[in-house]
A and B are shown apart, each in its own frame.
Chain A
Amino acid sequence: AQKVTQAQTEISVVEKEDVTLDCVYETRDTTYYLFWYKQPPSGELVFLIRRNSFDEQNEISGRYSWNFQKSTSSFNFTITASQVVDSAVYFCALKDNQGGKLIFGQGTELSVKP
């Protein structure tokens, strides 16, 4: 079965703390794509990053970094020196190769307090 699990429902941190959002996935495909999206209070999903299964290099973009490990089927997302504007719900998603739909995790609500 194809599945994405985000075990952390809510996380609360104080500004400038580092925070890691966990994502574990299950797939029968040998080639696949993983995504992270941010959903601020306005509701729109904002695309953050895409990774494919044959590239396990970690990625850093400013204060954001992603750790992809096929051995543990995990694609974790770290925000360094968090800011209040990072407060949002974050979704991890797996692309289903049959038809192209995204399979979403339940989301992690991050609250960054000043």
Chain B
Amino acid sequence: DGGITQSPKYLFRKEGQNVTLSCEQNLNHDAMYWYRQDPGQGLRLIYYSQIVNDFQKGDIAEGYSVSREKKESFPLTVTSAQKNPTAFYLCASSRTGLPKTQYFGPGTRLLVL
């Protein structure tokens, strides 16, 4: 089955700790995205990558970092600089040609201890 997987489903972070959220896709999509969703709100873009070894900041990149070493993988690190990390994180992927429909993974819920 083709799709997007995210792990873990739930993640707990302690003060001052960096944590990494995994996102893997086997859809052969070139582009991948990370969004953050806060309760009762829409999604906001954190980072996106159109191709391997290249990525761009989205609207709320501060306190986050990413890498794109493989086409299939786009991990997101939530650093200690992110002061309010509690949220639901969704990864998506798409083809690079129009219309670029984005398909989403099941999400990771991050909670701060």
**Is A102 interfacial (CB 8 A cutoff)?**
yes
Chain A contact-residue range equals 20 to 34
User: In the complex the two chains form, is A99's CB within 8 Å of B43's CB?
Assistant: no
**Is B41 interfacial (CB 8 A cutoff)?**
yes
User: In the complex the two chains form, is B48's CB within 8 Å of A101's CB?
Assistant: yes
**Is A50 interfacial (CB 8 A cutoff)?**
yes
Chain A binding site: helix, strand, loop or mixed by DSSP? Answer: strand
- Tally B residues with Cβ within 8 Å of A: 30
Within 8 A of B (CB), among A10-51: 33, 35, 37, 42-47, 50
User: In the complex the two chains form, is B99's CB within 8 Å of A50's CB?
Assistant: yes
24 A-B residue contacts at CB 8 Å?
A33-B99, A42-B106, A43-B107, A43-B109, A44-B90, A44-B104, A44-B105, A45-B43, A45-B90, A45-B92, A47-B101, A52-B99, A93-B42, A100-B94, A100-B100, A101-B33, A102-B33, A102-B102, A104-B42, A104-B44, A106-B40, A107-B40, A107-B41, A107-B42
B contacts, CB < 8 Å to A: 31, 33, 35, 40-45, 48, 50, 56, 58-59, 88, 90, 92, 94, 96, 98-107, 109
